[in-house]
Amino acid sequence: MNAGKLEEFLNKKVDEFNQPFFIDTDPISIPHLFSKKQDIEIAGFFAAIFSWGNRTTIIQKTKELMQRMDMAPYEFCKNYNGKQVKKIKGFKHRTFTEDDLFYFVEFFQHHYKTSNTLETAFINNAKEAPRTEGGFVGAALIGFKNYFFSLEHLKRTEKHISSPLQKSTCKRLNMFLRWMVRNDKTGVDIGIWSKKISPSQLICPIDVHVARVARRFGLLKRKQTDWLAAVELTENLKKMDAKDPVKYDFALFGLGVLEKF
């Protein structure tokens, strides 16, 4: 398939999957349950971090957590104390345990004391981060992890937040950024953040399914599915749409997971 035909085909697939029906069966349905900005951020963050494995289970477990937080995650985290601990004690999703959850809630409580948005956790810490491939977002992810674990914590909890320095694809954090940054009026991505991170700076979320499809189309040559693969894929997607390359995540994910392409 030549470049022109490929772009036409993928744009068609974006239009096909980037539709409201997509929401109900995807983890993005969780932040869509809320209207307050901070609730959307916290719910979206947990939904993204839990996003490995079966999507139905991911949605069920994230809903369970939101219900334990009385469907008000911002108020829960802001007022976190001994009483709240009892409500979330015993929660588990795969390798994410109650100890990890306790720390995540403590971080949110700490962060929202000085900021009214989680966006600043990425933006404000990018300047001090080591430079890496992936431009501003690459640095933002490194800075975010450093900041996220700046409080006293168990070493094991660090495995739940990835970083380009670990050569991780950072798929879940890139997906979370896509949700918070993009807003193309179709109703799927939420786009509640300011313009300080633009869609053109985002890195495409990539997993084994997206990587498989990307390689079939010649959009990815790298054999390892790692951070450099995510950057390479995004650079090739920019050739089709430099302003919004990660919109093609809908096409690649839809083909790889939903259509088993």
pLDDT digits (tens, 9 = 90+) for 159-178: 999 999 999 999 999 999 99
The Cα 69–Cα 125 span in angstroms is 28
Contact 113, 121 (CB under 8 A): no
Q: Roughly what angle, to the nearest 10 degrees, separates helices 227-238 and 208-216?
A: 50
Q: How confident is the model at residue 58 (pLDDT cuts 50, 70, 90)?
A: very high
Of 35, 39, 33, 61, nearest in space to 49 by CA: 61
Q: How confident is the model at residue 63 (pLDDT cuts 50, 70, 90)?
A: very high
Query: Can you give the pLDDT at residue 247?
Result: 98
Q: How confident is the model at residue 127 (pLDDT cuts 50, 70, 90)?
A: confident
> To the nearest whole number, what is the mean pLDDT of the chain?
95
